[in-house]
Amino acid sequence: MIPAPTTPSRRILLAILIGLLGLSLSTDAFAQRPSRGGRQRRPERKAPPPRDEKPSTESPGRTEGTIYKFSPADEDERKEDEKLLGELKIKPFEEGARTLILIVRESEDLKIKLANHEFERDEMTFYFQKGLHVEAEWGFLNPDSKRKIKKKVLRGLTFLTTVIEGEVEDVRDVGVEVRGVPQNEQQWPGYNPPDRNRPPGTSEKERVRPRNLKLRFIEDVTKVRNDENEESDMGDFKKGDKVKVTAVYAGGKIGMLVMLTPPNVEHDITSTGLGPKNDDRGRTPPQGPRSRPGRRPKPGSAPQG
């Protein structure tokens, strides 16, 4: 018969078990602590969002320049988008700026203005002619698009006017030719100084050079007045007469005639076109002679004698 273990033996066995348990716990704790010479665990970083999900910082804007080209939409393009009118390209005055490409769509919010006259929908694109001085207001066709380069759409366009003093070179059936300079010795639209590197205050004022301008009569806009600031017609003017004109400048292209008067008459273009002053209310604005009654001259054609 084997004798039962004594009390000291039990105590020794219990001590061994406790020691093994403590060693196991200390080993686990040591494994979780980073060692000085070993590699430390770094917390996991969240992946950055894709670039195309980054909200766009672009915003709608305004651009001053000249009309470079208008391309009407063809039949296939109109089938895809029945409100599409075409594509308008504008060359900004800002040096080094890229040509602005704008989609033109029918919209109740789209306003095309000259002086205070607003063109009707069926005629607005008729006046998108090369060289004309304009300011375009534009936005994005699809503002929520994730594309890096978004398509721009025309929201509004204003033909900008310049007051010019000079003399009549020729009077024609659809317009007039004038040679002159901008009023108050202002430079022509889009003028860039020849030397931009001179220190401030040392540049000499560039002499304004006279230019010959061919200007077209614009139906419901053009006004002709005499010395008394009364409605007149082109029969009161002849070659060599001193005149003042308000016009949309177009460089060597055909510009728009807004007002033609003797030089002593002040020009207030708010009284031209639609929305006349109270003293003009209800009166029909005078119109220049046309090549054919009831028809507009062909776009881009020069005034002919």
Q: Name which residue leads in pLDDT, 101 or 143.
A: 101
- Going by C-alpha positions, the residue among 137, 156, 164 that lies closest to residue 247 is 164
Mean pLDDT of 3-20: 64
**What pLDDT is stored for residue 60 in this prediction?**
79
Structure tokens at 4: 């039962």
| DSSP bridge pairs for 112 | 157
| DSSP bridge pairs for 61 | 138
- For the chain, domains (ranges, CATH) are 58-159 (2.40.50), 162-191+207-280 (2.40.50.140)
The pair phi, psi for residue 296, each rounded to 5°, is: -85, 150
| Residue 56 clears pLDDT 50, i.e. is over it | no
Q: Name which residue leads in pLDDT, 272 or 130.
A: 130
**What pLDDT is stored for residue 47 in this prediction?**
55
| Residue 305 clears pLDDT 60, i.e. is over it | no
Lowest model confidence (mean pLDDT) among 79-83, 191-195, 223-227, 229-233: 191-195
Spatial contact of 174 and 288, defined as CB atoms under 8 Å apart? yes
Q: Name which residue leads in pLDDT, 250 or 281.
A: 250
Is-above-0.85 flag for pTM?
Answer: no
**142 Cβ partners below 8 Å, 6+ apart?**
150, 151
**What pLDDT is stored for residue 296 in this prediction?**
45
Cα separation, 216 vs 257, whole angstroms: 6
User: Chain-wide mean pLDDT for the chain?
Assistant: 77
Lowest model confidence (mean pLDDT) among 19-33, 128-142, 155-169, 258-272: 19-33
- What would the pLDDT profile of 153-163 be if each residue is shown by its tens digit? 999 999 999 99
Mean pLDDT of 192-197: 66
Q: Name which residue leads in pLDDT, 164 or 60.
A: 164
**What pLDDT is stored for residue 274 in this prediction?**
28
Structure tokens at 107: 């919209």
Residue type present at position 38: G
Cα separation, 183 vs 103, whole angstroms: 35
